[in-house]
Structures are given as C-alpha cells and as structure tokens.
Amino acid sequence: MNMDQPVPGLQEGLQHRTVLLDEAVDALGLEGARASGTYIDGTFGRGGHSRLILSKLAPDGRLIAFDKDPQAIATAEQIDDPRFTIVHDSFATMVDALAARGIAQVDGILLDLGISSPQVDDASRGFSFRNDGPLDMRMDTTRGISAAEWLAQVPEQQLEKVIRDYGEERFAFQIAKAIAARRAVEPISSTRQLAAIVANAVKTREKGKDPATRTFQAVRIFINQELEDLEAGLSAAFELLAPAARMSVISFHSLEDRMVKQFLASKAKVEQPDRRLPIRAVDLPQPLMKLIGKTKPSGVEVEANPRARSAVLRVAERLGGKA
C-alpha cells in the first residue's frame, strides 16, 4: 500500500486528536526503501499513530503495536490489514514478543506515553476526578489491583513517598495523612472521594490546576508501573533498533521526559580515553545513538487540543558504533 492509498479507519483514529501525530511519524523516515521495513507502535491507544504509519508503509512493510488496555486492543482488532499485528501487553515486553515472531531488529519505534483521551474521559476507568467513577486507574483492567484496593492497604509512609516522588507533590505528607485518616472511617472507592480528600489537605493551589492533579498522576503511575515499564521499554527499543533506525518518544510530564532525555543522552555520549594512550582512531569508542531533535506542539495544536500543551517529542537515531 503506498502513501496515497487511504487506510480504513484513519479518520476515526484522528478524531482522538493524537498529539504530535505527523511530527512523530515523519521522524521515523518512512520513505523509499524504508517503507518496506518493520516498525513498532509501543502504545496503540486509539490508533492514530498506527494508522498513519500504515498509510505510509509499502505492501511488504510491517507494523507491530502494543497496548495494555483491553479497549485499545478491541479497537486495534478492527484494523483489517495483513501488515498489522496487535499485542496485548506492555511495550516493555517487545524484545520477547518480537523474538516469538522471528524478528530481531526493526526499522523504527514510536512510543506515545501516558494515557489517552478516551481513558481520561471514561468515568468508569477512574483516571480523572472531573467525573465521578470507581477508583480503578488500571490501564489493563484484566490484571493487578485497582487504585481503591491499593489505597486501602498501602502503608502511610509508602503512600507519602509515591505521591511525593511520582506526583512531585510538596503536600505529600498532608495528603497521605488525610487519606489514612479517611480510610479508617470508610473505604475510598470513588474518584470524587479521593479528589475531595486531597482538596481539603492541600491549602495552597496552583493557578489553573486542580489540587488533586498531582496525586491522581502519582497513583496512576504507581498502579500501572509506568516508570518501570518506560525504563525497560527504552532499553528494549534500543536493543531492537537496526543501524539508521529511529526512535520517536512523546512524553507528557517531567518524570517521563527526564528519563527519556537521560537515556538518549547516555547513548549519544561516549567516554573518550586518555589521548596519551596509543589507540588507533578506528578503535576509539563511538556513540551508539545520534540525537535528532526535540519538538513541542505548535500553538495551533495546543489551541485545538489543550491536553497537548505539556507534550515533548524526542527523536534519536541508532548508529552503527560500538561502545
């Protein structure tokens, strides 16, 4: 299929306002012979990036997508394209998943981190405090414990640490104490309950931001082990990238972006040996990746989709160098 051929369902996927859609996909360089390569969309979501990649792939190209969310999997299964495969698992498992399919290297990887708008807007998922719903917060509702179950049993000191470290919340102590006090009286089972507890514990509010924002972020990240998945996923992606292959990563908060930035920088930098040592130029250590650039959404995109305002796209290319 060439770039001019429509892909079934493309417009439906774009209705979800996929952030930095063209920029992230264009950075993979799906032109010429590279359109026949194998690519990974590590976070299918509702398929905006996957569908655009498919529209650019050649007939012999291949796209393998990952997602933990059963609803995302259901959406992906509607794509009737022999070049497309969906895997119900975290992108952290991509090395094993591709090995099981006889694939050792790929020509590009895209990761769009965080949660999707449909997840936020569905009150039954418990990701948002704007509409009342059960306090679930699991991306994969078929595994693990819900946020409500975790809050009922987590030690207060650990809760404080999670809220402080993952939410970067300066009132973590007060919030954890308030949650512990309330759960001793009644179960905390709804998003509105948790938001109200946090609001009463946080005395100073950031302008334009609900006081519960950081706590909800922290609990969600912990429940889904997002930072652990990201650390494992970046390493897996690097292992799979062929020389000249690129990685596009979109982050939405400082913890993610810092991890991505530091990982890519570590691969692009080399420790140079003492110049006094008798080492030939050909034997000098070479960088393993080249940093291509950093992109933020345009003012037009942010105006159309305010949720895009914190997004950062970082792109790097795998080199043929050796450590």
The residue behind tokens 């569908």 is: 51
22 φ, ψ to 5°?
-65, -40
Over range 10-35, report the average pLDDT.
80
What's the pLDDT at 279?
67
What's the pLDDT at 277?
63
Q: Assign 316 to helix, strand or coil.
A: strand
Note the residue count of the chain: 323
Give the CATH H-level superfamily of domain 10-117+226-318. Vaccinia Virus protein VP39 (3.40.50.150)
DSSP per residue over 18-82, as a string? Answer: -TTHHHHHHTT---GGGGGSEEEES--TTSHHHHHHHHHS-TT-EEEEEES-HHHHHHHTT---T
**154-163, 166-175, 253-262, 263-272: range with lowest mean pLDDT:** 263-272
241 φ, ψ to 5°?
-65, 130
Give the span between the Cα atoms of 139 and 111, in whole angstroms: 16
Q: What average pLDDT is seen over the chain?
A: 90
What's the pLDDT at 276?
62
- Confidence tier at 273 by pLDDT (50, 70, 90): low
Angle between helices 172-183 and 191-201 (to 10 degrees): 130
C-alpha of 207 from chain center: 27
What's the pLDDT at 280?
57
What's the pLDDT at 274?
55
- Confidence tier at 180 by pLDDT (50, 70, 90): very high
Give the helix/strand (H/E) hosting 296. Answer: none
Over range 65-87, report the average pLDDT.
97
- Say how many C-beta atoms besides its own lie within 10 A of residue 259's C-beta: 17
Give the span between the Cα atoms of 143 and 130, in whole angstroms: 25
The string over 221-252, giving b where at least 16 C-beta atoms fall within 10 Å of a residue's C-beta and e elsewhere, is bbbbebbebbebbbebbbebbeeebbbbbbbb
252 φ, ψ to 5°?
-125, -5
pTM above 0.75, yes or no: yes
SS3 content of the chain, % helix, strand, coil (to 5): 45, 15, 40
Over range 281-298, report the average pLDDT.
84
Domain 141-223: which CATH number of 1.10.260.40, 3.40.80.10, 1.10.150.170, 3.40.50.970: 1.10.150.170
The full set of domain ranges for the chain reads 10-117+226-318, 141-223
- What is the 8-class DSSP label of residue 134? B
- Confidence tier at 8 by pLDDT (50, 70, 90): very low
Give the span between the Cα atoms of 302 and 300, in whole angstroms: 6
The distance in angstroms from the start CA to the end CA of the chain is: 38
Over range 37-43, report the average pLDDT.
98
